[in-house]
């Protein structure tokens, strides 16, 4: 497990908010990590058929706790967007008042603290690696259209992606 010496597990489950993140993990990250001896699989938060979206924290917490209890040697991570994250998430209100660069870090730390507090002293906190990104994953796909086109091995679509991107002032829906 070169590059990740802190991990005692070779299996990682990523709890994600939507189908796009699920596909990204399954088709991009998992094959890359598998070549390095780490087996990553995504789990969509919520009930089967759920359409996605970050949703309320109690639902995500229930799923995270269940996985941590069921998969005693597995590392759990998350992939949730800060954008439109409800205030029910730990640290979310505090993060809303913080400097931009600190917002996601505050929620990640509060999420870890909440889970550690819930599971008690026997829980190994290194088994949970919260990840919160500032922007919608889907919006990030349009940040550098030429890179995305290259990654999907379709350079001819770079111009089309750039045209779509250029129709908007910001990658976030409803942002000023």
Residues 110 and 37 in one domain: yes
Q: Are 136 and 173 in contact (CB under 8 A)?
A: yes
Q: Check pLDDT > 50 for residue 1.
A: no
Eight-class DSSP state of 72: T
Q: Give a yes or no: residue 169 inside a domain.
A: yes
Q: Give a yes or no: residue 69 inside a domain.
A: yes
Instruction: Residue 55: count other Cβ atoms within 10 Å of its Cβ.
Output: 20
Residues 152 and 85 in one domain: no
Residues 98 and 170 in one domain: no
Q: Give a yes or no: residue 17 inside a domain.
A: yes
CATH number of 120's domain: 3.40.50
Residues 36 and 106 in one domain: yes
The parent domain of residue 157 ranges over: 141-176
* Span 73-86, average pLDDT: 92
Strands (E), the chain: 11-16, 39-44, 75-81, 128-129, 132-133
Q: pLDDT for 133-170, tens place per residue?
A: 988 877 777 788 888 888 778 899 999 989 988 888 77
Residues 175 and 160 in one domain: yes
Maximum distance among all Cα pairs of the chain, rounded to whole angstroms: 54
Q: Where are the alpha helices (DSSP H) in 17-131?
A: 19-24, 30-34, 57-70, 92-96, 103-119
Q: Give a yes or no: residue 161 inside a domain.
A: yes
Q: Give a yes or no: residue 1 inside a domain.
A: no
Q: Check pLDDT > 80 for residue 9.
A: no
Residues 148 and 127 in one domain: no
Q: Give a yes or no: residue 2 inside a domain.
A: no
Residues 92 and 21 in one domain: yes
Q: Which residue has the tokens 């399954």?
A: 26
Q: pLDDT for 87-123, tens place per residue?
A: 999 999 999 999 999 999 999 999 999 999 999 988 9
Residues 120 and 172 in one domain: no
**164, containing H or E segment:** helix 158-165
Residues 132 and 145 in one domain: no
Q: pLDDT for 21-49, tens place per residue?
A: 898 899 888 998 998 899 999 999 876 65
Q: Check pLDDT > 90 for residue 71.
A: no
pLDDT of residue 150: 82
* Vertex 51: Cα angle to 108 and 12 (nearest 5): 45
Residues 98 and 30 in one domain: yes
Residues 120 and 146 in one domain: no
Distance CA 98, CA 104 (A): 10
Distance CA 101, CA 132 (A): 12
Q: Give a yes or no: residue 4 inside a domain.
A: no
The total number of structural domains that make up the chain: 2
Distance CA 148, CA 158 (A): 8
Residues 155 and 170 in one domain: yes
Q: Give a yes or no: residue 5 inside a domain.
A: no
């Amino acid at each position: 497990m070169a590059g990740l010496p802190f991990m005692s597990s070779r299996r990682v489950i990523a709890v994600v908010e939507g189908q796009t993140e699920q596909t990204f993990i399954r088709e991009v990250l998992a094959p890359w990590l598998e070549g390095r001896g780490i087996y990553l699989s995504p789990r969509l938060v919520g009930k089967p058929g759920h359409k996605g979206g970050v949703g309320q924290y109690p639902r995500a917490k229930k799923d995270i706790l269940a996985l941590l209890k069921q998969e005693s040697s597995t590392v759990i991570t998350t992939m949730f967007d800060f954008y439109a994250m409800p205030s029910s998430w730990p640290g979310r209100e505090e993060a809303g008042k913080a400097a931009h660069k600190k917002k996601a870090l505050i929620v990640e730390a509060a999420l870890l603290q909440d889970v550690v507090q819930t599971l008690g002293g026997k829980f190994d906190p290194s088994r949970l690696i919260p990840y919160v990104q500032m922007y919608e994953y889907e919006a990030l796909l349009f940040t550098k259209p030429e890179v995305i086109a290259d990654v999907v091995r379709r350079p001819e679509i770079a111009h089309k992606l750039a045209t779509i991107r250029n129709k908007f002032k910001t990658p976030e829906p409803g942002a000023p």
